[in-house]
Chain A
Amino acid sequence: MSDLSPRLPLPADADRVEARRELGRRRKVIVVTFGLLLLVAAVALFAIGLRDATEFFRNADEAIAARDELGERRFRLQGRVVPSSVTIDGGVTTFEVLHNCASVSVRHTANPPVLFQSPWIPVVLLGHWEEGDVVTVAGRDTHYFLSDDMVVKHTNEYAAANEDRLPAPTEAPEGFLDDCPFEVPRL
C-alpha cells in the first residue's frame, strides 16, 4: 500500500511549492474578482435599465392628462400615427399620434425610421411638451410634442403581404376609433 499522505516539501522545494500555491491563490482571486465584476455589472444594468423599463412610455391620453406635472421634462410618448396628418417640411416631420381617442400633435426633428410610412403604425417618441396652438383631429390644443427620437413599436401581428383578409392598408385597426367622438379624415 502506497503512502498517500500529503507530502511535506523538501526545504529546496519549499519556494517552488509556495510559488505554485501563490499562483493558485492568484487565479482564485482573479476568478472571484471577475465574478464579482459580472455581478456588479448585472445589478447596474438592471438598475439603469429598469428605471426606464417599467414605465417605458406614456400613452397619448396619459401624457395629456399629466401635462402640468410633466412640464418641460423629457418622456416617451406612444400612439398610432394618423396617416392623413403627416407632413414633411425641411427636416421636420409633423403628424399626430392617437391613443384612446386622445390626439397629440408632434413635431419630430430627426429622420423617422422606415416603417414610419406604414399607416397607423404605433410609434414611441422621446421629447417634451412645448407651448403652441395646434389643431388636431380631436380639436384645438395648447401644446404640441417636440421630439428628436422615434422608434416604431410594431405589434405581434404578422400577415402575408398579399393576403386578402387584411384591412385596406390605410384603415385604422379594428375598433381603434370606435369610441371616438370625432371623425378622422381619410388619407
Chain B
Amino acid sequence: MIETPEPDLRQQAQRAGSLTMTGSVATRVLGVVAIAAVGVMALLALWISPADAVQGDSVRLMYIHVPSIWVAYGGFVLTAFASARVLWRTRSGAGGTYGVIADRHARRWDRVAGAAAELGVLFTALTLVTGSLWGRVTWGTYWQWDARLTTTVLLFVTYLGYLALRRLPAESRARARRSAVMALIAVVNLPIVHYSVDWWRTLHQEASLNLEPGGDRNITGEMYWTLLYSWATFTVVALWIGIHRYRVLRLEELAEEASLEELLAQRRDEQAAGR
C-alpha cells in the first residue's frame, strides 16, 4: 500500500509562503546567514589574515582546503549514523519485511544518509583539488602517493561507489539496507585518512589544528581564528544545501509514488473499459 505523503514539506512551504518545495523559513534564514558568512570569510581569508612566513599567500588555500575535509568528515559520519538507524529500523521484526519501507523514520534516515554522503563527496573532491593546487606551490608537485593522499582518494572513490549503489534500481527497503551496509563499511576509512599522517611517514604535514585544550598552537593568532571561522562558514553552507537536498530526495520519492499511482490508475481504467 502506498503511504500518504508526509505533510511536513508542504506545511513548511506554506508557512514560508514558498513556491519551492524545498524552501522554508528556516532554510531562508540559514541561506542569508550562509551568504553573509561567506562574504565575511572572503574578507578574513583573502584580505585580513596575514601571509605565512614560509608559504606566503598560498597559506590562504588552507582556509578552504581544511574546512572542506572537515565538512566531508562530518557528512560521512552523519551518513554512517543515519545508516545505522536505517538498519535498525528496517530489521526484520521491525515491520520491515516488505519490499517497501513502511517505517517513516527509516525513510527519513535513509534520506539523511544520501544527502550527507553527496555533500561529503562534493567536499572531498574540493579537498583534493584545493590540496593539489596548494601542493603545487608549496611541495612543488600536484600529487604524491603518500598515505594521506592515497587514503583520501580511496575515501572519495568509495563514497562515489556508495552514491552509485544508491542509484541501483531496487525495492526501497533492499536499496536502503544495502547502501546502509556499505556506508558502515566505508566509514572505517575515515579514521585511517585522519590519522594516516601520524601513523605513517607522509609528505603531507600533520593535522593543522590542535584542538586539545591547553595544547600547543601551531597556527598563530589571526590565521587560527580565520581557520575556525571558515570551518563554521563551510558548515553553515553545507547544512543549508544539505537540508534542500534532503527535501529533494523526499520529492523524488513522492514522484516515484505518484508515477506508480498513475500506473495503477491506468490499470483500473483499462479494466473498467474492458468490462
Answer whether A and B touch in the complex at a CB cut-off of 8 Å: yes
Q: Which residues of A contact B (CB under 8 A)?
A: 2-4, 7, 24, 27-28, 31-32, 34-35, 38-39, 41-42, 45-46, 48-50, 52-57, 78, 112-116, 118, 121, 124, 150-163, 166, 169
B213 at the interface (CB under 8 A from A): no
Q: How far is the CB of A138 from chain B (nearest CB, A)?
A: 22
Let me know if A162 and B168 touch, CB within 8 A: no
* Apart from A50-B150, A54-B201, A113-B141: 8 A-B pairs, beta carbons within 8 A: A53-B196, A56-B146, A56-B203, A57-B203, A113-B139, A155-B206, A160-B220, A161-B56
Let me know if A156 and B205 touch, CB within 8 A: yes
- With known contacts A34-B164, A56-B147, A154–B55 Cβ distance under 8 A: yes
Q: How far is the CA of A52 from the CA of B268 in the complex (A)?
A: 64
Count, chain B residues at interface, CB 8 A? 51
Let me know if A115 and B150 touch, CB within 8 A: no
Let me know if B158 and A152 touch, CB within 8 A: no
Let me know if A52 and B146 touch, CB within 8 A: yes
Query: CB-CB < 8 A to A121: which residues of B?
Result: 54
Q: How far is the CA of A24 from the CA of B268 in the complex (A)?
A: 25
Let me know if B139 and A160 touch, CB within 8 A: no
Q: How far is the CB of B114 from chain A (nearest CB, A)?
A: 16
Interface of A is mostly: mixed
B255 at the interface (CB under 8 A from A): no
Let me know if A114 and B140 touch, CB within 8 A: yes
Q: Which residues of B contact A (CB under 8 A)?
A: 50-56, 59, 62, 137-141, 144-147, 149-151, 153-154, 157-158, 160-161, 164-165, 167-169, 196, 200-203, 205-208, 218-223, 264, 267-268, 271
- With known contacts A52-B146, A115-B55, A151-B144, A158–B201 Cβ distance under 8 A: no
Residue in A35, A53, A78 whose CB lies within 8 Å of B145: A53
- With known contacts A50-B150, A154-B138, A161–B208 Cβ distance under 8 A: no
Let me know if A158 and B219 touch, CB within 8 A: yes
Residue among B53, B222, B267 facing the most chain A CB atoms (10 A cut-off):
B53
**Residue of chain B at shortest CB distance from A52:** B145
Residue in A42, A46, A54, A150 whose CB lies within 8 Å of B161: A42
Query: CB-CB < 8 A to A151: which residues of B?
Result: 139-141, 144, 203
Let me know if A38 and B157 touch, CB within 8 A: yes
Q: How far is the CA of A152 from the CA of B141 in the complex (A)?
A: 9
Let me know if A156 and B168 touch, CB within 8 A: no
Query: CB-CB < 8 A to A32: which residues of B?
Result: 168
Query: CB-CB < 8 A to B267: which residues of A?
Result: 2-4, 7
Let me know if B158 and A115 touch, CB within 8 A: no
- With known contacts A31-B167, A49-B153, A163-B220, A54–B140 Cβ distance under 8 A: no
- With known contacts A24-B169, A31-B168, A114–B205 Cβ distance under 8 A: no
Let me know if B50 and A160 touch, CB within 8 A: yes
Query: CB-CB < 8 A to B51: which residues of A?
Result: 160-161
Residue in A50, A153, A159 whose CB lies within 8 Å of B52: A159
**Residue of chain B at shortest CB distance from A2:** B268
Q: How far is the CA of A111 from the CA of B212 in the complex (A)?
A: 40
Query: CB-CB < 8 A to B140: which residues of A?
Result: 112-116, 150-152
Residue in A7, A115, A124, A160 whose CB lies within 8 Å of B138: A115
Q: How far is the CA of A85 from the CA of B195 in the complex (A)?
A: 35
A sample of 30 inter-chain contacts (CB < 8 A) reads: A2-B268, A4-B267, A27-B169, A35-B161, A38-B157, A38-B161, A42-B154, A45-B154, A50-B147, A53-B146, A53-B150, A53-B200, A54-B200, A55-B201, A56-B144, A56-B203, A112-B140, A113-B138, A114-B137, A150-B140, A152-B139, A154-B205, A156-B208, A158-B218, A158-B219, A159-B219, A160-B51, A160-B222, A161-B50, A169-B53
Residue in B56, B200, B222 whose CB lies within 8 Å of A56: B200
Query: CB-CB < 8 A to A161: which residues of B?
Result: 50-53, 56
Let me know if A28 and B202 touch, CB within 8 A: no
